[in-house]
């Protein structure tokens, strides 16, 4: 009664009729929008077919019409004058025109007349006989009148089309105004359609909701015995029951495991009595989300219950978790006659063809099956089906990695590049930790976990101030291994940060935990270190594709970056290295932590703080070394070598027969955007290397050195964040770097792992 104060609302049927009337009225508005826009585009298409500049074309036609009218007037005047000329012509000339002299005189008199009255109107050769002149004038007049009619028709048609365009455009502006469009520019269909979402479609949705509520009430009231109806499970009862449910909620959400159990019906099988079956093809549409993660054998039953399916997913992201091995899958297929009994080679080939179409229980997915079943193939470079090309979640310099890794560059980034000055879009913190393995086979890296937790605590306030949210809603941490998940959770728990899946907890998990989710900042802990290759991360593109594409603003890797350097550029980690190391600003800096795996009973551990302690340590180490010393420093500055006395200490050690080796990075040392500065740096590096060589100090150039390490003999190892040969020694520019020093006989294996990694590079 509130909605229809002046209408009869005594029964649901009457209210439904009123609602349907309003639905039709609102729906016709949508039809009118489309028809008006189509008409406007059609009439403008006609105008465009006539001319690109219709006003210039109209002016041209008008000018031609005026010119033609002038010719017609001239021809009509000439016709009258010719009649007068004939009437006034001398009888002598008419009678004796057969005489050559008279004939010639008559010809020149007629020629003078024609030139005077017609002139340029005579396009073809002049008439030779006087009797032809009447016909000529009539022919010319008829031609000009036809042309005049053509120009006039063109002008009338253009005016008619322009008036139609004006009327339709006026109608379009009226529609826009009624929907609340207030901008000065001509509204596009997209702008009007967006207004229709709120002004027409949303009211339509509400009206439709109430309409079907009324239909539901009527249907329920028409059931003779509701309790008796609830106990029936035949198709004739189940189908109307589902249709009634859909009146209130047109879409229900279930897992593929649950759906079949809700579609059970009872069928009478003659003497066998009643048996359970299923309501096949009952649902109008089955929508499968995240279909790239759905097992085909789990979803197959649900597909039999629907007429059509809309399958949404991405096979370049996390695949399903298969519980069956290919050998068992092959055995099952043989038993069920899906594969024919044959030689092993033929069975393998036949099974391979099944896996290619995604229908294997050991490697398939619903998304893969759907792609191969779709008739649509918009892009020959990609799989079949329709594609969402536009990407709006991540900054362009984040999704660029995924685009190159998995999507052949087909994604269209729409967010723009990062202007977030908090952290780089693609950043990293080099961590010289060690990946270890638990009894379960899962791996962990304790140093990575501890540095992630400490870094988060140190930056928490800064992050929360920047985003205006608690850190749990901003940051997500992903890693390939469940053992690392628990290690990171333990480290965060000690720092007072709650982790888990509940609201207010920070998400830490394997890549699966963030599938379909997003965070402003995603921290990736690779776990692997220079002690092993870590090919597991590269075994499937989906792992890093999902991890990187979850980050809206920043994707930060906390791990051993030296391991990323040695990967092939085409591998997922090798490609990631390209993006991470693109800019020097992508490197993060943080206080170094002690490695627990190097804590042995006979190992002495202490920390270096600041420039002076580091300088004193290195000079003393060079003096105390007995056999060999290796110094890894990304940057090499000859002035700093001389200023600190390092070059003298190393020269003296080399003179005593001690092997002194300096490892640095060529690119870091010469990199500069200014070509002149770059050239100058290249000269400086060359001079420094020559100087060291002259003292018998070996030098090696390694591409992108991340570690800052000192190795003395086989019993001293110093790892940290201090740039030995480039750090500023001026107090105002001095950074408070830290390094951990390990001394003892148990370091030999760790030192060998570092040397092996350097040798590979």
Q: Is the pLDDT of residue 83 over 80?
A: no
Per-residue model confidence as pLDDT tens digits over 598-639:
888 788 999 998 889 999 999 999 999 999 999 999 889 888
Beta strands in 626-707 (DSSP E): 628-632, 659-664, 698-701
CA 729 from centroid of its chain's CA atoms:
46
Nearest to 174 by CA among 32, 47, 41: 32
Q: What residues contact 411, with CB distance under 8 A and at least 6 apart?
A: 389, 390, 391, 399, 402, 403
CA 283 from centroid of its chain's CA atoms:
33
C-alpha distances out from residue 503 to 391, 454, 498, 507, 613, Å: 27, 22, 10, 10, 46
How many Cα atoms sit within 13 Å of 198 on the Cβ side?
A: 8
| pLDDT band, very low/low/confident/very high, at 22 (cuts 50, 70, 90) | very high
Q: 286: which strand partners?
A: 309
pLDDT, averaged across the chain: 88
DSSP-derived 3-state class of residue 127? coil
DSSP state of 381: T
Top-confidence residue, 644 or 35: 35
Beta strands in 527-603 (DSSP E): 551-559
The percentage of the chain sitting over the pLDDT mark of 90, rounded to a whole number, equals: 53
How many Cα atoms sit within 13 Å of 411 on the Cβ side?
A: 23
Per-residue model confidence as pLDDT tens digits over 3-20:
899 999 999 999 999 999
Q: 428: which strand partners?
A: 557, 587
Q: 608: which strand partners?
A: 739
Per-residue model confidence as pLDDT tens digits over 388-412:
999 999 999 999 999 999 999 999 9
What is the Cα–Cα distance from 537 to 527, expressed in whole angstroms?
Answer: 10
CA 173 from centroid of its chain's CA atoms:
35
C-alpha distances out from residue 605 to 430, 593, 623, Å: 21, 11, 20
β-pairing, 738-743 vs 604-609, is antiparallel
Q: Is the pLDDT of residue 284 over 50?
A: yes
| pLDDT band, very low/low/confident/very high, at 110 (cuts 50, 70, 90) | low
How confident is the model at residue 123, as a pLDDT? 47
Angle subtended by helix axes 396-406 and 572-580, to nearest 10: 160
Q: Is the pLDDT of residue 132 over 80?
A: no
Q: What residues contact 327, with CB distance under 8 A and at least 6 apart?
A: none
How confident is the model at residue 379, as a pLDDT? 87
C-alpha distances out from residue 548 to 427, 432, 538, 572, 710, Å: 11, 22, 14, 11, 34
CA 666 from centroid of its chain's CA atoms:
35
Other Cβ atoms less than 10 A from the Cβ of 599: the count is 12
DSSP state of 589: -
How many Cα atoms sit within 13 Å of 169 on the Cβ side?
A: 12
Nearest to 547 by CA among 520, 523, 574: 523
| Average pLDDT of span 663-686 | 87
Per-residue model confidence as pLDDT tens digits over 519-553:
999 999 999 998 887 888 988 899 999 999 999 99
Helix, strand, coil proportions of the chain in percent (round to 5)?
Answer: 55, 15, 35
What is the Cα–Cα distance from 410 to 382, expressed in whole angstroms?
Answer: 9
How confident is the model at residue 88, as a pLDDT? 65
């Amino acid at each position: 009664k509130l909605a229809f104060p002046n209408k009869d609302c005594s029964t649901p049927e009457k209210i439904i009729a009123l609602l349907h009337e309003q639905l039709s009225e609102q729906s016709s508005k949508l039809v009118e929008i489309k028809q008006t826009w189509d008409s406007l585009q059609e009439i403008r298409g006609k105008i465009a077919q006539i001319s690109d500049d219709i006003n210039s074309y109209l002016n041209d036609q008008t000018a031609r019409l005026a010119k033609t009218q002038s010719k017609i007037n001239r021809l009509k005047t000439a016709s009258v004058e010719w009649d007068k000329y004939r009437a006034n012509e001398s009888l002598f000339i008419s009678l004796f025109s057969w005489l050559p002299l008279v004939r010639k005189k008559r010809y020149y008199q007629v020629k003078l007349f024609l030139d005077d009255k017609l002139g340029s109107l005579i396009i073809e050769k002049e008439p030779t006989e006087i009797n032809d002149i009447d016909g000529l004038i009539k022919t010319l007049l008829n031609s000009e009148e036809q042309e005049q009619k053509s120009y006039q028709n063109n002008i009338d048609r253009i005016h008619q089309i322009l008036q139609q365009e004006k009327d339709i455009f006026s109608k379009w502006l009226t529609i826009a105004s009624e929907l609340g469009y207030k901008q000065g520019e001509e509204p596009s269909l997209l702008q009007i359609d967006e207004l229709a979402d709120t002004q027409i479609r949303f009211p339509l949705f509400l009206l439709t909701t109430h309409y079907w509520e009324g239909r539901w009430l009527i249907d329920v009231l028409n059931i003779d015995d509701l309790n008796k109806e609830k106990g029936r499970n035949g198709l004739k009862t189940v189908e109307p029951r589902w249709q009634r449910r859909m009146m209130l909620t047109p879409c229900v959400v279930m897992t593929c495991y649950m759906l079949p159990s809700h579609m059970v019906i009872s069928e009478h099988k003659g003497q066998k009595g009643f048996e359970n079956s299923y309501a096949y093809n009952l649902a109008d549409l089955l929508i499968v989300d995240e279909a790239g993660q759905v097992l085909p054998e789990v979803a197959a039953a649900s597909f039999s219950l629907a007429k059509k399916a809309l399958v949404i997913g991405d096979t370049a992201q996390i695949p399903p978790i298969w519980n069956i091995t290919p050998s068992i899958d092959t055995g099952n297929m043989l038993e069920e006659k899906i594969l024919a009994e044959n030689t092993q080679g033929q069975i393998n080939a036949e099974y391979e063809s099944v896996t290619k179409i995604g229908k294997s229980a050991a490697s398939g997915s619903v998304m893969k099956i759907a792609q191969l079943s779709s008739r649509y193939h918009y892009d020959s470079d990609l799989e079949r089906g329709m594609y969402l090309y536009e990407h709006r979640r991540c900054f362009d310099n984040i999704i660029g990695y995924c685009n190159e890794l998995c999507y052949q560059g087909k994604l269209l980034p729409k967010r723009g590049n990062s202007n977030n000055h908090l952290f780089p879009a693609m950043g990293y913190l080099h961590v010289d930790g060690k990946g270890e393995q638990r009894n379960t086979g899962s791996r962990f890296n304790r140093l990575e976990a501890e540095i992630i937790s400490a870094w988060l605590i140190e930056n928490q306030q800064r992050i929360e101030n920047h985003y205006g949210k608690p850190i749990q809603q901003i940051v997500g941490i992903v890693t390939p291994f469940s053992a690392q998940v628990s290690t990171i959770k333990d480290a965060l728990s000690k720092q007072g940060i709650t982790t888990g899946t509940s609201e207010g907890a920070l998400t830490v998990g394997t890549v699966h935990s963030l599938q379909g989710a997003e965070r402003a900042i995603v921290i990736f802990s690779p776990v692997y270190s220079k002690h092993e290759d870590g090919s597991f991360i590269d075994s499937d593109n989906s792992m890093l594709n999902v991890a990187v594409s979850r980050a809206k603003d920043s994707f930060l890797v906390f791990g051993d970056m030296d391991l990323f350097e040695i990967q092939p550029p085409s591998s997922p980690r090798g490609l990631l290295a390209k993006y991470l190391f693109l800019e020097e600003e992508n490197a993060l800096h943080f206080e170094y932590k002690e490695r627990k795996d190097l804590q042995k009973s006979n190992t002495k551990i202490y920390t270096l703080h600041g420039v002076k302690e580091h300088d004193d340590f290195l000079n003393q180490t060079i003096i105390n070394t007995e056999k060999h010393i290796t110094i890894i420093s990304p940057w090499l500055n000859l002035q700093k070598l001389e200023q600190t006395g390092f070059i003298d200490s190393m020269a003296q050690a080399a003179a005593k027969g001690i092997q002194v080796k300096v490892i640095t990075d060529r690119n870091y040392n010469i990199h500069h955007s200014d070509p002149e500065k770059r050239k100058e740096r290249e000269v400086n590096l060359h001079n420094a290397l020559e100087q060291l060589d002259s003292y018998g100090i070996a030098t090696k150039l390694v591409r992108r050195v991340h570690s800052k390490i000192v190795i003395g003999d086989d019993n001293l190892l110093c790892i940290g964040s201090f740039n030995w040969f480039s750090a500023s020694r001026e107090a105002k520019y001095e950074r408070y770097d830290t390094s951990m020093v390990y001394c003892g006989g148990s370091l030999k294996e760790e030192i060998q792992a570092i040397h092996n990694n350097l040798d590979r590079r």
